[in-house]
Amino acid sequence: MSGHSKWAQIKRKKAVVDAKRGKIFTKLIKEITVAARIGGGDENANPRLRQAVYTAKAANMPANNIKKAIQRGTGELPGIVYEEAVFEGYGPGGVPLMIEVLTDNRKRTVAELRHLMAKYGGNLGEPGCVSWIFDKRGLITVDKEGIAEDSLLETVLEGGGDDLVEEDDVFEVISSPENLHSVREHLEKRGFVVKGAEVTMIPKNTIRVNEEIAGSLLKLMDTLEDHDDVQNISSNFDIDESVLAEVS
């Protein structure tokens, strides 16, 4: 398993800022609503909803907001019906992108995404053009402070996880999507501080981008992330820290 992409690290830090300004709540409410509509309002019987609620609580979303989002999904309260879609394409320099959306108007979303991609030197592609580069995996971030890597790895494997990757100030625990919750619970019971847990697309390899491409690429990623319909973006680019400092 290759290391996670640079965007995954940037996005983790960006999520803290988004949570403070409330932007992440909008995306989480959509996800909770859709999860409840598809799989029902019982968290214990609906893994996707359980994950969405866990993420919402981790972002300090008020319990009443979570409850209402579930009720809109189950039909107990009126609400908008969102459609799920995944768009694939290429950013500046041919960098692969997978864009997951929840939208109430697919044609509008497609048109807006195509415009944004073209604006920054990218383009939408055909279904399947980049998805083969990624694996759907469970990803748990664990606070690195005071943690012995060997001890954590032993606990990860003991709990059903598959791998451990060191990244900046955290360890990233890799698991199958199905084992995400059980591995997270196992780690927490053993006293490890879990900072986040999600099902995500992890690249099989990464590609290094230079300063010229990095600037446009990061602007595109930020613009897509700010789009109301975009829930998640996956990519496999890597950027040297020195280059990142120049373009940030």
Alpha carbons 186 and 202: distance in angstroms, whole number: 22
Give dist(CA 239, CA 166) in Å, integer. Answer: 17
> How many CB atoms are closer than 10 A to CB 102?
20
**List of long-range contacts for 23-29, beta carbons under 8 Å, 24+ apart:** 23/226, 24/59, 25/56, 25/59, 25/61, 25/65, 26/228, 27/231, 28/52, 28/55, 28/56, 28/59, 28/61, 28/69, 29/56, 29/61, 29/65, 29/69
Write down all domains in the chain, each with its CATH number in brackets.
6-74 (1.10.10.200), 83-127+207-247 (3.30.70.980), 133-203 (3.30.70.980)
> Average pLDDT of the chain?
89
DSSP assignment of 200-240 equals EEEESS-EE--HHHHHHHHHHHHHHHHSTTEEEEEE-EE--
> Cβ(144)–Cβ(171) under 8 Å?
yes
- What count of residues does the chain have? 248
- Residue-wise pLDDT for 141-177, tens only, equals 998 888 999 999 999 999 999 999 888 778 999 999 9
Distance CA 27, CA 102 (A): 9
Q: What share of the chain is helix, strand, coil (3-state, %, to 5)?
A: 50, 25, 25
Rounded to an integer, the average pLDDT of 122-133 is 96
**Residue pointed to by tokens 């820290």:** 241
pLDDT in tens, 202-240: 999 999 988 889 999 999 998 999 899 999 999 999 888
pLDDT of residue 146: 87
